[in-house]
Chain A
């Protein structure tokens, strides 16, 4: 049996560029945001949300900042506020946009540029494995 030091285990996650690992800290911070997104699994909730997004959001115990980020579909901001991509995916499927297109909005690329990068084999891991080690 291995005995992993939880502090060292978690600290390494901050060394990965452009990545938020969904730790307990994020899961706690984003709890209601993620549960809001989860509610969009139900067709009747999707309809209510589409009819008046702001009113629907006001039923949830999430911060004003998070509500504005939902309205703006600012996925990087939502990740920073504890959103998890599998939960947030309920929001982009409600919008009827492809998973990859929503993902592209978190990068510095346009959707056509991102799609082309994927067709060409995706993003290389070179240089984006570790901030500290620059590899």
Chain B
């Protein structure tokens, strides 16, 4: 039986990919950020997940304004890094897990989550940066990946409540897959940041840390935070944090915290990172 053994939350700032690709991980600016991922890189070497369900958002790379799926699941064999305007990142192609992905997609639809199914797409920094943060440089990613893309660009994005419920449904789907697989679920994006307008640069460490506290809590209060609160308190792009709730919802009512890290700044953004396990 497949099982979800851990959940990872992480920012996915594109500049982190640049720092990694250009060998700047340990310089004065990026050192304190990457230091917070050292624990996780060692832990991942021991955990050896077979599959990562990677919740992220596309930033006008695979999806433009023509089609805007709220929840989309990648059921393809492989995904190439996207050219986001300066050439694709030179990181390995992402290898999918079509058997489990299709199983989850079918289960979710029967569970009344009407997913969009993707067979071909390129994946942008939202997906490849977390892989670099958790696994470092490698010839091939040490796990297969099921991309789960969430619309957090065109309003309204899904509610936190719906994201949490989707996570619960994903966990049920994984548990009904007969093969013995070690599955992790990652929620990415955030934390506080605003990339536009006169209020750009907004950072709210108190709110971000309260959000991390709520993820650790033995209750589901965090799912009820309305969009407007993310917008006011964490900047217009802080809304990405709803994606972490899919991860958290998939872990069940109680979790234990294995690791937690927070740092300001990375470019315009606050970096948050948490590793949780079902308890």
Contacts and interface: CB of A to CB of B under 8 A. Distances in A.
A90 B60 contact: yes
Contacts of B83: 41-43
A85 B199 contact: no
A89 B86 CA distance: 11
B268 A43 contact: no
B154 A121 contact: no
Given A12-B228, A128-B202, A2 B196 contact: no
Contact of B207 (A99, A114, A125): A125
B214 interface: no
Interface residues of A, number: 58
A118 B201 contact: yes
B106 to A, nearest CB: 23
Interface stretch (A20-28, A53-61, A63-71): A20-28
A122 B154 contact: no
A106 B197 contact: yes
B151 to A, nearest CB: 11
Contacts of B264: 121-122
A87 to B, nearest CB: 5
A84 B60 contact: yes
Interface in B159-216: 159, 161, 192, 194-205, 207
A16 B198 CA distance: 11
Contacts of B195: 85, 99, 103
Interface string A11-22: 011001111111
A121 B203 contact: yes
A39 B209 CA distance: 38
Contacts of A31: 65
A130 B231 CA distance: 10
A60 B184 CA distance: 44
Given A20-B196, A43-B87, A123 B154 contact: no
Contacts of B14: 99
Contact of B197 (A4, A10, A20, A86): A20
Contacts of A108: 198
B201 A114 contact: yes
Interface of B: 14-15, 59-61, 64-66, 82-87, 153-156, 159, 161, 192, 194-205, 207, 227-228, 231-234, 236-237, 264-265, 267-268, 270
27 contacts: A2-B161, A9-B227, A16-B199, A18-B200, A19-B196, A22-B154, A41-B82, A42-B83, A43-B87, A75-B196, A84-B154, A86-B59, A86-B153, A93-B85, A93-B86, A96-B86, A100-B15, A103-B195, A106-B198, A106-B200, A107-B197, A107-B201, A118-B268, A121-B203, A122-B268, A125-B232, A129-B232
Interface of A: 2, 4, 9-10, 12-13, 16-24, 27, 31, 34-35, 37-38, 40-43, 46, 75-76, 79, 84-87, 89-90, 93-94, 96, 98-100, 103-104, 106-108, 114, 117-119, 121-125, 128-130
Q: Which 3 A-B pairs have the closest CB atoms?
A: A122-B203, A18-B198, A93-B85
